[in-house]
Amino acid sequence: MEPIAYIQRLTRMYERLGYPAYEWVRSAGPPPFTPLTKPLSECRLGLVASGGIYAAGQVAFHYKDDTSIRGIPREAPMESLRTAHFAYDQADARADPNCVFPLGTLRGLVAEGVIGELTTHAHTFMGGIYSARRVREEVAPALVERLRDERADIALLVPV
């Protein structure tokens, strides 16, 4: 079976609800591209995820254009991780955060020597921000600054 046509589904749903049509980001032309110049086993990887992950002790996300970012320490126990997100069924992610925030999976691959190391924090936000401008001008630059500050060689981005 073909992958689900989410854009068509959501467009129809919004029509039924009487909402104005959502304008999906459409990027024309090829994206910027930086080739990887060393093996993964020598790379410092920065994990970025938009599943609404926070650690116990941090402020949870709210559901209305929350553009804030949480830094999750790379050694954070998986049991300390929580989710707050309006747009997906969080049951499995709450039972095992690796579903949407593969910090434990990545730690395992570092221990195996597949990946060099992780940046000191993973960086999380909620996504579902309706304004592409705010993502482009606020969230994305803040994430890139965090990746640079923590000297990430590569970044793995995990949306929901």
Partner 1 sequence: MGLAARQAEEAGIPTLCLSSALDITRSVNPPRAAFLDFPLGHTAGKAHEPGLQRAIMLEALEAFSSLREPGQVKLLPFRWDKDDSWKRAMDRLDTRLPRFDTPQYQFDEDRALAEAAREGSCPVCGIAEE
Contact 134, 86 (CB under 8 A): no
Q: Is 153 helix (H, G, I), strand (E, B) or coil?
A: coil
Residues 30 to 59 in contact with partner 1, rule: CB under 8 A: 30-36, 40, 46, 48, 50-51, 54, 56-59
Pairing assessment for the beta strands 70-73 and 121-124 based on DSSP bridges: antiparallel
Identify which of residues 15 and 92 has a Cβ nearer to partner 1 in the complex: 92
Identify which of residues 117 and 158 has a Cβ nearer to partner 1 in the complex: 158
132 binds partner 1 (CB under 8 A): yes
Length of the chain: 160
Among 4, 21, 75, 113, binds partner 1 (CB under 8 A): 4
CB 21, min distance to partner 1, A: 14
* The amino acid at 98: N
CB 48, min distance to partner 1, A: 7
Among 77, 96, 131, 149, binds partner 1 (CB under 8 A): 96
C-alpha–C-alpha distance, residues 6 and 39, integer Å: 35
Class of residue 110 by CB neighbours under 10 A (exposed 0-12, middle 13-18, buried 19+): middle
Q: Minimal CA–CA distance to 50: which of 68, 23, 35?
A: 68
CB 18, min distance to partner 1, A: 15
Count of residues near partner 1 by CB under 8 A: 83
Among 72, 76, 118, 127, binds partner 1 (CB under 8 A): 127
CB 20, min distance to partner 1, A: 15
Strands (E), 56-152: 70-73, 81-83, 117-118, 121-124
| Residue window 61-90: x/- pattern of binding to partner 1, with contact defined by CB under 8 A | xxxx-x-x-x-----------xxx-xxxxx
